[in-house]
Chain A
Amino acid sequence: MPSTRRDALGAAAVALSACLAGCNAFSATDSSRTPHPGTGDRVTDYETARQVATGDRRLFRWTGDDHRSSEHLLVTTRDERAAVAFDLPADDPVPRFVAETDFDRAALALFQRRHGACVRLDTFGLERRPDELRVHLCTKPRPADERCRTDRQRSTLLAVRIPVEGEAPPELSVVRSSRCEDRYGPSRDGGKGR
């Protein structure tokens, strides 16, 4: 299997991107942002963590008093973080990634989805629009040499850490696409942004 590259990527399940570009994606003067089709600015200096479980699993839930979506959640303070309960060991990649987030400098977006066992769900890109943060998720078939059955389910948990600079937390919106191609080529700042 020609997948040493893939294994390396998998081992780095917590894809920590070097935050070389100043980590100020929410600043209007940030030069690391490049225009994105539509009205939003492309954000490139975010970090992600991803975990997959077999079956239909709820991997996080909101325990706060108010009602919030069980599919995606924006977490911007320590208190909010305390209200997120993971159905996973604390030292698993995503819970650890969440625990290590410094809310003075970053916000977190959490996503969970149930999907067919033969597809992969991932973050495709981030776009900052005037009044919302739009996260693009994508699905594509898993590699052909990974054994899976179409009548089985998997659940994916995604955490996205987005640098902030003391601004009001934006609204979170989600767009899903059936393609995961990198439309813009490699990023100069080394971020995960595509």
Chain B
Amino acid sequence: MTGRSRRGVLAGAGAGLAALAGCSVSLGTDETADGEALRRLADEERFERPYPHPLSIPDAMVTRHRERARALLDGVPVETDIPNELIATRIERERERLAERLDAGASGAESPDGQDDAGDAGGPDGDDGATASARDRLREARRRRREAAALRGTYRAATGGIDRADVERRRDAQRGRLAAFRAAWDYRAAAPVRAALVHAHLENLVDGAEHALTPWPQFPADPAADVEQVGYIAEKVEEAAAALDDLERYREQVAGERTTGYRPALMAAATWLRRRARREAFRHEAYLDEGVEAFDRDLGESVARYRFVIAREVAREYSNRDLIDRIDAGGYANAVLFAATRRAAVTALAASVEAVESDETGGEVSVQRIEAARRRAREAIETALDRGPVGLLARLLGPAFTALDEARRELEHGASGTPARALGGYRYAAEFAETAADAADELAFLLEEST
């Protein structure tokens, strides 16, 4: 309830500002100067969204991909005897490029930054900016592995060394690994919020592997006539294998903790949050369906109008339908995070409707007011992240960061943009940051209660 009282204070402050609005200088008295001032605001340093990684990435994980990439590369000679010189040259050049990249990456892998933060529910990731973070190096190594597989597949197609059965055998093997992973997957973690964050990441990897295993495009009838297609197919299968390597390592990591299986708890929390958001959305259904037309007066180009428009867009993006689909699809961790984001989005929408209905226009638009609103939005986001858990908030605050980005883009247009929309966007971001923090508390509470 703390959030609600804070919102009450905020609403009061908003009304106060609206009362003062008559005194503020509106934009448009000096368009050139205002346009410049707006653009200067847009140029100021961006407020970066944190992307903490919920698991550790030991060097062994990176090394495994690199070794596999090297082994694939070793299967392609430095000089080929492929009759088609164009294909021969492409293969030889790509081999050379990849060998250089692998050598360059090898020195990076020796950096001491062996592990991202594996602490509680997602601390900041261990990237100190000086060396590539473990996550970047993992991504890079996986990319090299895919590229090496594409090259090796292309080479084998060019030299008659691969057929459809080879590809299907390897793809089926990965399909088997994926099925085994799923069968044993019980969403274990040391704490419930951590379960949501860790397993949302694993779900993304599983989705990636599944997508990579789709048997498309078809293996060509004449591989030598379509070597690049064969390379692409080989790359996709390797991508699945790489994702499964990581998944199996992460699972060992998670199982090593003193853990509980959280699948039922995640499912329960997702369902409860969905129902709560549905109940609140139901009260505002006309606004969701009809937009500004649902109000009994013209909102004009007011700041309140833009804040409402943005709130409605977000609430529709995080829709009940999408949430049901996610729950049905069985991605429990991502579903519960989506549910909490929707919960925050619907509450923020309700607040924006309330603001309009209590006759707030959001006041005049001025450079100073835009700057102040941006500062408040950033402070609200920082406060929410501080309240934590940071990994959870970083995830739930997505719409607030998007609103900041969109407001900045509006300012880039200077006087020809819509400054009222920028101001509405910052107000929305501040509001959303508070509702997201409340939703995070609610999620944590529900997960604890249902465990």
Q: Which of A12-20, A36-44, A84-92, A142-150 contacts B (4 or more CB under 8 A)?
A: A142-150
Question: A3 vs B221: C-alpha distance in the bound complex, in angstroms?
Answer: 9
A3 touches B84 (CB 8 A): no
Write out, one digit per residue, whether chain A residues 4-48 have a CB within 8 A of any chain B CB (1) or not (0): 011000000000000000000000000000000000000000000
* Interface presence of B252 (CB below 8 A): no
> Which B residues are in CB contact (< 8 Å) with A143?
84, 222, 224-225
B80 nearest CB neighbor, chain A only: A144
Q: Could you jot down 6 A-B contacts, CB within 8 Å?
A: A116-B86, A141-B86, A141-B228, A144-B83, A144-B87, A144-B88
A150 touches B89 (CB 8 A): yes
> Which A residues are in CB contact (< 8 Å) with B222?
2-3, 5-6, 143
> Which A residues are in CB contact (< 8 Å) with B158?
144-145
B91 nearest CB neighbor, chain A only: A144
Measured CB to CB, the residues of A under 8 A from B are: 1-3, 5-6, 116, 118-119, 140-150, 181
* Interface presence of B85 (CB below 8 A): yes
- Known pairs A2-B160, A144-B82, A144-B157; A118 contacts B87 (CB<8 A): yes
* Interface presence of B159 (CB below 8 A): yes
Question: Measured between C-beta atoms, what is the minimum distance from B252 to chain A in Å?
Answer: 41
- Known pairs A144-B157, A144-B159; A118 contacts B225 (CB<8 A): no
Chain B contact residues: helix, strand, loop or mixed: helix
Question: A12 vs B158: C-alpha distance in the bound complex, in angstroms?
Answer: 24
Interface residues of B in 183-239 (CB under 8 A from A): 217, 221-229
A3 touches B224 (CB 8 A): yes
> Which B residues are in CB contact (< 8 Å) with A181?
217, 229
B83 touches A147 (CB 8 A): yes
> Which A residues are in CB contact (< 8 Å) with B83?
144-148
Question: A148 vs B82: C-alpha distance in the bound complex, in angstroms?
Answer: 10
Question: A34 vs B329: C-alpha distance in the bound complex, in angstroms?
Answer: 34
- Known pairs A2-B160, A144-B157; A150 contacts B86 (CB<8 A): yes
B225 touches A148 (CB 8 A): no
Question: A144 vs B160: C-alpha distance in the bound complex, in angstroms?
Answer: 9
Question: Measured between C-beta atoms, what is the minimum distance from A16 to chain B in Å?
Answer: 21
Kindly list the 6 A-B residue pairs having the minimum CB-CB distance in the complex, ordered from nearest.
Answer: A118-B86, A144-B158, A147-B83, A143-B225, A144-B224, A144-B87
Question: Measured between C-beta atoms, what is the minimum distance from B341 to chain A in Å?
Answer: 34
A141 touches B84 (CB 8 A): yes
A145 touches B84 (CB 8 A): yes
> Which A residues are in CB contact (< 8 Å) with B221?
5
> Which A residues are in CB contact (< 8 Å) with B87?
118, 141, 144
Question: A150 vs B222: C-alpha distance in the bound complex, in angstroms?
Answer: 22
> Which A residues are in CB contact (< 8 Å) with B89?
150
> Which A residues are in CB contact (< 8 Å) with B225?
3, 6, 142-144
> Which A residues are in CB contact (< 8 Å) with B90?
141
Question: A120 vs B409: C-alpha distance in the bound complex, in angstroms?
Answer: 46
> Which A residues are in CB contact (< 8 Å) with B88?
144
Question: Measured between C-beta atoms, what is the minimum distance from B281 to chain A in Å?
Answer: 37
B227 touches A118 (CB 8 A): no
> Which A residues are in CB contact (< 8 Å) with B159?
144
B158 nearest CB neighbor, chain A only: A144
> Which A residues are in CB contact (< 8 Å) with B84?
118, 141-148
> Which B residues are in CB contact (< 8 Å) with A148?
83-86
> Which B residues are in CB contact (< 8 Å) with A118?
84-87
Question: A146 vs B85: C-alpha distance in the bound complex, in angstroms?
Answer: 9
B221 nearest CB neighbor, chain A only: A5
